[in-house]
Amino acid sequence: ETGVTQSPTHLIKTRGQQVTLRCSSQSGHNTVSWYQQALGQGPQFIFQYYREEENGRGNFPPRFSGLQFPNYSSELNVNALELDDSALYLCASSLSSGRTDTQYFGPGTRLTVL
Amino acid sequence: KQEVTQIPAALSVPEGENLVLNCSFTDSAIYNLQWFRQDPGKGLTSLLLIQSSQREQTSGRLNASLDKSSGRSTLYIAASQPGDSATYLCAVTNFNKFYFGSGTKLNVKP
């Protein structure tokens, strides 16, 4: 059972715009991670939040930012959208900081940048 | 920088065959390794998680092994079924960062 949800399912934006993607973790999961998955590739780690603090970051520029809230919801914000930002964005939650726990993934948000 | 490689990129087998998927990683300082399944256009489903201190994990027809020293993991699928058709991804965890391979796309023919 995953219980992780994401919204919206699909989104179309134009270059230069800003976007906010949302994730609702399983109840009790203190950790959320965000990933970008381009077509035909494996997911690329963007960052992880643990108890509302950023706890690890991949090789993504500062225009990718996030927030985690006490109610187990979180957001991924991307500013100044570029064409290469078109991808499936996945969030995953786990009980602790992710070192030893299984990650449970949501279905993803498909972002298209025109 | 950790790099994760999966071979083969695609695999097509007849139903009932046993098969092995491979995953290799360059930095052996990992906390764990996880195997996932991804259906087209969907999120990932966790199959097996192996902690760095473990050698293998089993769930039903699936068995995953881990050899940290050589930087390798295998996922063994017994008696494959058409419903096993999907992309299989492995991921390793290093210091609160996660690294995925590009996956093996499996097609099991009836």
Check CB contact of B18 with chain A, cutoff 8 Å.
no
Q: Count of residues for chain A?
A: 114
| Residue A48 to residue B44, Cβ atoms within 8 A | no
Measured distance CA(A85)–CA(A8) in Å, rounded: 16
Question: In Å, how far is B101's CA from the nearest CA of chain A?
Answer: 6
Percent of chain A with pLDDT over 90: 74
A59-95 residue pLDDT tens: 999 999 999 999 889 999 999 999 999 999 999 998 8
> What is the identity of the amino acid at B42?
K
Q: What is the pLDDT of residues A19-36, one digit of tens each?
A: 999 999 988 888 999 999
CB contact under 8 A, B43 and A56: no
pLDDT digit string, tens, across residues B86-100: 999 999 988 778 899
* pLDDT above 90: residue B75: yes
pLDDT of residue A107: 93
Which of B44, B51, B98 is nearest residue A45 as measured by Cβ atoms?
Answer: B98
Residue B91 has which token pair? 């991921």
Strand, helix or coil at B83? helix
CA A114 vs. chain centroid, Å, equals 20
Measure Cα distances from A110 to A17, A37, B42 in Å.
16, 9, 10
Comparing B7 with B41, the larger pLDDT belongs to B7
pLDDT the model gives residue B33: 94
Of A56 and B20, the one with more pLDDT: B20
Token pair 């298209």 is found at A112
- Interchain contact B99–A (C-beta under 8 A): yes
pLDDT at A98 over 60: no
Q: Is A98 on the interface with B (CB under 8 A)?
A: yes
* Mean local confidence (pLDDT), A46-64: 93
Which one of A59, A103, A111 would you mutate to disrupt binding with B, by most B Cβ within 10 Å of its Cβ? A103
When the pLDDT of each residue in chain A is averaged and rounded to a whole number, the result is 91
Tokens 């093996």, residue?
A: B104
Chain B residues with CB inside 8 Å of A55's CB?
96
Quick one: pLDDT at residue B43? 85
DSSP tag of A100: S
Q: State the pLDDT at residue B48.
A: 95
> Nearest CA to A103 among B68, B40, B33?
B33
Per-residue pLDDT reduced to its tens digit, B12-63? 999 999 999 999 999 999 989 999 999 987 889 999 999 999 999 999 999 9
Which of A92-96, A102-106, B66-70 is the most confident on average? B66-70
